[in-house]
């Protein structure tokens, strides 16, 4: 069992990672909430079907009165309407200010459950139990919550740190192949940002990881969460340092938006974004060619990515419209070496364009 502390104000919390942890979730929750009575598990039908019983039995065993509250599947239901419907369900199930909300699912469920908990009766406690790679290595830690608007993703949200994060790598065994791989790119991202050993392990053990060997999965989740915990602890509200977590996301987001969020999974777009950032870093001599190639090669070795066919000029235009650009300046997080990245904001447009063209070539 690995316990990682996320040091945020006013109350630090732990992420606990262990294979089979789900069956002990009830007891773990008791440690944090000795007198808690009711908990409300926000989830989607598929997760409830596959893992709901294990969780329900564990909660009942620790004398929790647990209610499952279901939301519909999919990113398009990460919405205010879903939050409202869930809040109505909570009131009907008798949730009061002492209710504990549990987000039991992927990043969509985690973001919705976290947002719901932050506004329900002006804020109740939330515990995250992530069930996808993306959610286990990234979304469940850090306290960012949110829902989408028609105008864009994550435009409404809050910071609401969980009281506890319980991560059971075993639940990844039922994840569809593409979803599984998509999350691995976020772990690889953590390696490039600040953990050369994690990167090397993903470079040399790609096959074992793709076969979902438990020890490998646990290792990469633990190392990714450690990195996220360190960054979040130092910069809870994403003013500066936390921006490094956006490595691969600048161009990744542009690729997603230019394909209406229907073509790439988020992690896949980030994977191409990391490749592009490496090409850019090498072109402006932030890093050497060998490092850039290592990042590209390791990314591509984690499986076939959907081809990049969008017009590169459109991608550049989308970059300039991104909500994270400040005063029209596009910020790139670029690698210097494996384990070190840097924010760069004066990359010539021609170089960005060339890097995106390079993605088209690489995906042929």
Ligand X SMILES: NC(=O)c1ccc[n+]([C@@H]2O[C@H](COP(=O)([O-])OP(=O)(O)OC[C@H]3O[C@@H](n4cnc5c(N)ncnc54)[C@H](O)[C@@H]3O)[C@@H](O)[C@H]2O)c1
160, 266, 286, 294: which one binds ligand X (CB under 6 A): 266
6, 17, 42, 134: which one binds ligand X (CB under 6 A): 134
Give the binding-site size for ligand X (rule: CB under 6 A).
Answer: 27
Q: Does 144 bind ligand X (CB under 6 A)?
A: yes
Whether residue 246 lies in the annotated active site = yes
Q: Does 50 bind ligand X (CB under 6 A)?
A: yes
Taking contact as CB under 6 A, which single stretch among the options 7-15, 137-145, 192-200, 322-330 is the one that binds ligand X? 137-145
- With 0-12 / 13-18 / 19 or more C-beta atoms within 10 angstroms meaning exposed / middle / buried, residue 121 is middle
Residue 249, classed as helix, strand or coil, is helix
Catalytic residue among 228, 243, 294, 331: 228
Instruction: Report the C-alpha gap between 21 and 328 in whole angstroms.
Output: 46
Q: Does 138 bind ligand X (CB under 6 A)?
A: yes
CB-based contact 333:250 (threshold 8 Å):
yes
Whether residue 160 lies in the annotated active site = no
Strand partners, 152: 149
Site for ligand X in 68-127 (CB under 6 A): 73, 75, 78, 105-109, 111
Instruction: Between 274 and 355, name the residue whose CB sits nearer to ligand X.
Output: 274
CB-based contact 68:89 (threshold 8 Å):
no
- With 0-12 / 13-18 / 19 or more C-beta atoms within 10 angstroms meaning exposed / middle / buried, residue 212 is middle
Instruction: Report the C-alpha gap between 140 and 143 in whole angstroms.
Output: 7
Residue 67, classed as helix, strand or coil, is strand
User: Can you say how many angstroms the Cα of residue 203 is from the centroid of all Cα atoms in its chain?
Assistant: 21
Whether residue 323 lies in the annotated active site = no
Minimum Å gap between C-beta 167 and ligand X is 12
Minimum Å gap between C-beta 3 and ligand X is 20
Q: Among residues 320, 307, 248, 306, which one has the least CA distance to residue 281?
A: 248
Catalytic positions, please? 122, 144, 186, 228, 238, 242, 246, 249, 253, 266
What is the contact surface with ligand X in residues (CB under 6 A)?
44, 46-47, 50, 73, 75, 78, 105-109, 111, 131-132, 134-135, 138-139, 142, 144, 154, 171, 174-175, 179, 266
């Amino acid at each position: 069992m690995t316990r990682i502390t996320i040091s945020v104000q006013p109350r630090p919390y732990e992420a606990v990672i262990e294979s089979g942890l789900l069956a002990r979730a009830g007891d773990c929750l008791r440690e944090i909430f000795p007198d808690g009575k009711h908990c409300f598990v926000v989830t989607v039908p598929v997760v409830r079907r596959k893992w709901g019983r294990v969780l329900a039995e564990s909660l009942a065993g620790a004398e929790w009165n647990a209610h499952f509250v279901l939301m519909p599947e999919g990113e398009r239901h990460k919405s205010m309407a879903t939050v409202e419907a869930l809040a109505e369900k909570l009131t009907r199930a008798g949730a009061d200010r002492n209710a504990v909300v549990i987000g039991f699912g992927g990043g969509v469920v985690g973001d919705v459950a976290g947002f719901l908990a932050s506004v329900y009766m002006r804020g109740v406690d939330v515990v995250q139990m992530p069930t996808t790679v993306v959610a286990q290595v990234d979304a469940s830690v850090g306290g960012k919550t949110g829902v989408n608007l028609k105008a864009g993703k994550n435009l409404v949200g809050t910071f609401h740190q969980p009281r506890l994060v319980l991560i059971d790598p075993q639940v990844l065994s039922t994840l569809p192949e593409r979803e599984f791989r998509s999350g691995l790119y976020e772990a690889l991202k953590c390696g490039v940002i600040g953990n050369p050993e994690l990167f090397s392990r993903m470079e040399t053990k790609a096959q074992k990881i793709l076969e979902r060997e438990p020890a490998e999965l646990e290792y990469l989740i633990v190392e990714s969460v450690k990195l996220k915990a360190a960054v979040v602890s130092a910069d809870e509200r994403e003013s500066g340092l936390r921006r490094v977590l956006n490595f691969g996301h600048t161009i990744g987001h542009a690729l997603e938006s230019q394909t209406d969020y229907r073509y790439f999974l988020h992690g896949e777009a980030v994977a191409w974004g990391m490749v592009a950032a490496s090409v850019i870093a090498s072109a402006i001599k932030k890093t050497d060619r060998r490092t850039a190639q290592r990042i590209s090669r390791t990314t591509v070795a984690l499986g076939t990515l959907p081809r990049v066919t969008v017009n590169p000029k459109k991608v550049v235009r989308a970059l300039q419209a991104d909500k994270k650009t400040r005063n029209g300046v596009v910020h790139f997080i670029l690698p210097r070496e494996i384990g070190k990245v840097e924010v760069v904001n004066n990359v010539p447009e021609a170089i960005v364009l060339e890097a995106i063209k390079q993605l088209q070539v690489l995906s042929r």
